[in-house]
Structure 1
Amino acid sequence: MRHEKGEALLRLALAMQAARAGLTLRDIEERFEVGRRTAMRMRDAVLRVFPQAIETEGDDRQKRWHIPPGTLDRLVGSLSADDLAVLQSAVRLMEDQNRAVEAARLAQISQTLRDLMRPDHARRVEPDVDALLEAEGLACRPGPRPKLDPEVVLALREALKAGVAVRLTYGSRRNPTPTPRVVHPYGVLHGHRHYLVGHQSDPPVAESPRLYSLPRITAIEPLTRPAERDPDFDLAAFARRAFGVYQEDPQDVVWRFTPQAAEEAKRFTFHPDQTHEDAPDGSLIVRFRAGGLLEMAWHLYTWGDGVEVLAPPGLAEMVNPHRRAWDAMP
């Protein structure tokens, strides 16, 4: 416990040095999830060790404390935006897999590294970090993972960061022979299949945005022309339209988990916007709105007869007749 308190004080000192305007007591409360008295004790402990800390009062009449740059040893060199974005993506991945402990630890490491960066370098890379995180959505599902060409992934990341269009050599299922096309990338969705989300301008297509399977991209060339992008497009909202990655028109989905399976189902987040209710008989009703019925069916088969599809009818026809005994499922 003492080591944990010491670590928290060190992170607070780093944060006080990184925050150019300084930290208020409210900032300390929110960052470390503590009450006002604990925040005051933490602040006082840091000020005793670093008496050179500067106290200021802002226009809002709140006091702030800032440790001058260079006071603490620089333990980290010049991290790139890609380095920080990869760490934050790992945090999201852990959260998506309900690994809260690992997610919190990675988030703490990421914040500590940010606090250690030189302020001028941090200001330069922060916009790139935000752009990279905005461009990536996570929709992870269990199962096999396709092989990806690292050069394709790296080129896509560079294009997203630079905000430029790319020329893909791409073969679809309908046309397996790879052909060139110009795509304006919006972002990447990761799952049991990985897709580039983008707008195709050459040859022009009516559907936008489209999905491009990353394993089917055999070559990629970032262009000098800026990427054209709908300013109202939201990648996170686009990802939530689907249960997994495959996009189709969203439908109202209702599942009923039996009393025997209800407790297990409560440990799952099936969709970010889901709601659930406990029925009088002990069963669990889960509701959300999304497309991707086939991917839903694949997942629901793993629940055997522990789940019944109440809506939509098309999904019920796919799942309900093929259920196996719940107690026989792994």
Structure 2
Amino acid sequence: MIQLALEMQAARGGLTLTDIEQRFGVSRRTAIRMRDAVLAAFPNADEVPSNDRSKRWRLDGAGARALSPTTADELAALETAAALFQRENLPDQADLLRGIGSRLKASMAADLMRRVEPDLAALAEAEGLALRAGPRPAIPNSLFATLRTAIKSCRKLSFSYAGRVKGQTETRTVRPLGFLYGHRHYLVAAPDGDGPAGADGAIRFFSLPQISRPKLLEQGFERDPGFDLRQLVAHNFGVFEEPPQDICWKFSAEAAAIARQFEFHPGQTVETLADGSLLVRFRAGGLLEMAWHLMCWGDAVEVLAPDALKALLPAERPVWPALP
């Protein structure tokens, strides 16, 4: 109930019953009871006028905030997330999270901070991050600031883009829409042109380490309100744009227990066979990135479909277990 009250207070446009259902994973009737409980506990909660047919409720004032003070676990989670960003060579994002942590600490009462500090120190010692082996992309901190400004203000952007062939550099003008983080980090953008950006499907991924000399342009652009970055990449295994195909992998009985711990794709289905092996099926593009990933499973995985993915894997692979 406290969490719901906090979210009703934070939501500028208020929360609908559907929002409560999705946020807390409850039925409609439970969402109604939760809303009624908050309305009864906080008389200053009221219905927010809206242009749609759904009713929305919001809690004004700071009454709910006092019921849920900042905890050591929350501060430690912020620091862990910042360390993850730092490890992935995203120091700008790490600094933003640490700034949030500092402001939270500064807003806490002195006696509460004295109680939290020992727990925070203990968690800082107890939680660590394993260093990921291998190279990381080198990205200047100033690049993120320029790209973020372009995305937030819907301004066109020009930059020099280095091709994979040494010495090839082109000047690109794009309408930036967002970022995609992974083994490599990308700017998601639409080529310069007419019409709302993101509406025509002409979306490109630009590797951030290959971008240099970014320049904000005076011209603005219209962003398609229906553009959804998550939907854009949902049919891909990685960032390579390919038509989706039906994928089927078979993990050996020895590797099945570990394979069940992974979500290889949001739309995957799994099936355990009589011999203990595991079938994983989903539909996506990006066969080359799938082949790169499957190599770490050694001979514990067999590609049943498609044939094009089978052809990308060598005949001889490391003997399981290949994962640490």
**Quick one: which amino acid aligns to residue 218 of structure 1?**
S
What per-residue deviation string (whole Å, max 9, x for no partner) do you get for residues 223-246 of structure 1?
A: 121236566654323312322222
- Deviation of residue 321 (structure 1)? 0.8
Structure 1 unaligned blocks of 5 or more: 1-7, 76-86, 95-105, 117-140
CA gap of 1:46–1:172, structure 2 versus 1, over 3 A, is same
What per-residue deviation string (whole Å, max 9, x for no partner) do you get for residues 236-289 of structure 1?
A: 233123222222333222111111111211111111222222223221111122
Corresponding position of 2:232: 238
Match of 1:162 among 141, 150, 153: 153
**Quick one: which amino acid aligns to residue 69 of structure 1?**
G
Q: Distance in 2 between matches of 1:57 and 1:189?
A: 35
- TM-score w.r.t. the length of structure 1 is 0.61
CA gap of 1:282–1:163, structure 2 versus 1, over 3 A, is same
Corresponding position of 1:296: 290
- Deviation of residue 325 (structure 1)? 1.6
Alpha-carbon contact 1:53-1:65 (below 8 Å) kept: no
CA gap of 1:43–1:159, structure 2 versus 1, over 3 A, is same
Corresponding position of 1:277: 271
* Secondary structure of the corresponding residue to residue 160 of structure 1: helix
Aligned-residue Cα RMSD (Å) equals 4.5
Match of 1:187 among 178, 188, 206: 178
Match of 1:311 among 291, 305, 308: 305
Q: Distance in 1 between matches of 2:285 and 2:236?
A: 5
Corresponding position of 1:102: none
CA gap of 1:45–1:221, structure 2 versus 1, over 3 A, is closer
Corresponding position of 1:268: 262
CA gap of 1:70–1:192, structure 2 versus 1, over 3 A, is closer
Matched, 1:196 2:190: no
CA gap of 1:142–1:316, structure 2 versus 1, over 3 A, is farther
Identity over aligned pairs, percent: 46
Write out aligned runs for 1:215-234 (5 A): 215-227=209-221, 233-234=227-228
Corresponding position of 2:61: 69
Structure 2 unaligned blocks of 5 or more: 50-54, 68-77, 86-96, 108-131, 194-200
Q: Distance in 2 between matches of 1:291 and 1:142?
A: 26
Q: Distance in 2 between matches of 1:238 and 1:168?
A: 23
Alpha-carbon contact 1:185-1:227 (below 8 Å) kept: no
Alpha-carbon contact 2:6-2:65 (below 8 Å) kept: no
- Deviation of residue 153 (structure 1)? 1.3
What per-residue deviation string (whole Å, max 9, x for no partner) do you get for residues 76-117 of structure 1?
A: xxxxxxxxxxx8xx69x99xxxxxxxxxxx9xx99xx9xx9x
Q: Distance in 2 between matches of 1:65 and 1:231?
A: 24
Alpha-carbon contact 1:148-1:214 (below 8 Å) kept: yes
Matched, 1:210 2:204: yes
The range that moved more, 292-301 or 35-44, is 35-44
* Secondary structure of the corresponding residue to residue 145 of structure 2: helix
**Quick one: which amino acid aligns to residue 171 of structure 1?**
A
Matched, 1:14 2:14: no
The range that moved more, 31-40 or 284-293, is 31-40
- Deviation of residue 143 (structure 1)? 5.3
- Deviation of residue 306 (structure 1)? 0.8
CA gap of 1:57–1:226, structure 2 versus 1, over 3 A, is closer
- Deviation of residue 315 (structure 1)? 1.8
Corresponding position of 2:137: 146
Aligned length: 258
- Deviation of residue 304 (structure 1)? 1.2
